[in-house]
Copies of this chain bind each other. A is one copy, B any other.
Amino acid sequence: MKNEIAIDIEQAAAFLDLSPSRFSELLDKKVIRQNWDQYNNIFRFTSRVSDIDAGSVLLDNDDSFELVRGFPKIRRAMLIEPAIQANFSDNATVVVEEKMNGYNVRVLSYKGKLIALTRSGHVCPYSTERAQNLLNKHFFEEYPDIVVYGEMAGPENPYVRKDIYDIESLDFFVFDMRRKNDGIALPISERRMLAGKYGFRQVELFGEFGIPEAASKIGDIIRELGKKGHEGVIIKDPNMVLQPIKYTCSESNCADLQHAFKFYNEAGRDYIYSRVIREGFQSAEWNETEEELMERCLRLGESILRPMRESIKEVQQGTRVADESRIRVKDKKTISEFKFYLERLGLDIVFSPARKVGDDYIVDIKKINNSTSDKTLGIIRGQLWS
């Protein structure tokens, strides 16, 4: 198998500033993994290697190499006021942009066409078709050394389906532009200007605030976003030198729980715990009245119990618990490519036959959750918990 990896080890290693033996070892251990089919010149980092984050991607252009840096992990504020004070103390201001609820992709031009890389560094066929239809190619010709980082969001989203935005299908919202190789980000004003010029949709900009007023402004923004069911904000250094931090709405934390508890037997314990903990800190920081606290407690409790009860009743009525989503493509070939892609990732999913709607094809996707269905069925038949 090793021989199939046709990459010049000496040169690739030199490009990454690694020894050839180290590079070979990383290939052998699948820390650096090759993509398949027409993308077999693309290699992704499955974990961090020296200063190269997991999810980074090495492009082998035959005569040269390029490195696309992964999405930097954005750390989370639990108490917004001290977090801003401690993390941006050297700044005069912070910029606040919306954190959207979708999935991250990086878009760049590869062999003359746009491709979309997921957070882990895979080339997603569905996102790629979308990027090709949504984004102005000229940008990538003018700025070949820039990678566009953004969020794919909307109802026709096979990963994180959300109807909370005013989006009919799935759209791409730019939140970052970074240089290839070193991954240095453009200052926010420059990125927004460029994105605007090329007609890219961008995540919403709420403003640039002085450090002393930022926490209170963000509190107001978060409350408004929460009412609309939106996720939250990213707080950024205008120059993108200091690391951004994130902060989310209670309603969004609870929506995450609601989805997780539908599939309660697969719900990650840490996933649940972390969302619950956020609620406690937000309640403490906002000095909530007794009435506001009770509302929050009820919201949290409902987000846990309602979906569980629903799943149990579904199984009692003889159905199996499933996660449903939908995709919309222009090229019918993308459907089979995307299905093959999901299967390669090890997902067990059912695609409905494609139906034609205007110029598009729509496919419904169903992921049966056997774990929760089987566990529930067992309990209904008298199984004990453990």
**A binding-site residues for B, Cβ under 8 Å:** 75-79, 82-87, 245, 261, 264, 267, 269-270, 272-274, 276-281, 283-284, 293-294, 296-302, 304-306, 308-309, 312-313, 316, 379-386
The 9 closest A-B CB pairs, nearest first, are A86-B382, A297-B301, A280-B308, A269-B269, A301-B301, A82-B382, A75-B384, A284-B312, A300-B301
Q: Are A76 and B382 in contact (CB under 8 A)?
A: no
Instruction: Report chain B residues within 8 Å CB of A78.
Output: 379, 383-385
Beta-carbon nearest neighbor of A304 in chain B: B276
Instruction: Report chain B residues within 8 Å CB of A84.
Output: 382
- Residue among A272, A293, A300, A382 with most chain B CB within 10 A: A382
Contact of A75 among B261, B281, B299, B386 (CB under 8 A): B386
Q: Are B305 and A279 in contact (CB under 8 A)?
A: yes
Instruction: Report chain B residues within 8 Å CB of A300.
Output: 297, 300-301, 304-305
Distance between Cα atoms of A83 and B385 in the complex (Å): 10
Q: Are B293 and A280 in contact (CB under 8 A)?
A: no
Contact of A284 among B245, B279, B313 (CB under 8 A): B313
Distance between Cα atoms of A77 and B309 in the complex (Å): 16
Q: How far is the CB of A240 from chain B (nearest CB, A)?
A: 18
Instruction: Report chain B residues within 8 Å CB of A304.
Output: 276, 279-280, 297, 300
Q: Are A384 and B284 in contact (CB under 8 A)?
A: no
Q: How many copies of this chain sit in the oligomeric assembly?
A: 2
* Secondary structure dominating the interface of A: helix
Q: Are B281 and A305 in contact (CB under 8 A)?
A: no
Distance between Cα atoms of A149 and B379 in the complex (Å): 30
Instruction: Report chain B residues within 8 Å CB of A277.
Output: 264, 308, 385
Instruction: Report chain B residues within 8 Å CB of A274.
Output: 385
Instruction: Report chain B residues within 8 Å CB of A302.
Output: 294, 297, 301
Instruction: Report chain B residues within 8 Å CB of A272.
Output: 269, 272-273, 276
Q: Are B309 and A284 in contact (CB under 8 A)?
A: yes
Instruction: Report chain B residues within 8 Å CB of A269.
Output: 269-270, 272-273
Beta-carbon nearest neighbor of A267 in chain B: B273
Contact of A384 among B77, B380, B381 (CB under 8 A): B77
Distance between Cα atoms of A84 and B381 in the complex (Å): 10
- Residue among A264, A269, A301, A304 with most chain B CB within 10 A: A301
Instruction: Report chain B residues within 8 Å CB of A299.
Output: 301
What are 7 A-B contacts defined by CB distance under 8 Å? A76-B384, A78-B383, A269-B270, A280-B308, A299-B301, A300-B301, A300-B305
Instruction: Report chain B residues within 8 Å CB of A75.
Output: 384-386
Distance between Cα atoms of A306 and B294 in the complex (Å): 10
Instruction: Report chain B residues within 8 Å CB of A83.
Output: 382-384
Distance between Cα atoms of A76 and B86 in the complex (Å): 47
Distance between Cα atoms of A283 and B316 in the complex (Å): 14
Q: Are A280 and B301 in contact (CB under 8 A)?
A: no
Distance between Cα atoms of A79 and B283 in the complex (Å): 34
Residues A308 and B284 in contact in the complex (CB < 8 Å), given A82-B382, A272-B272, A383-B86: yes
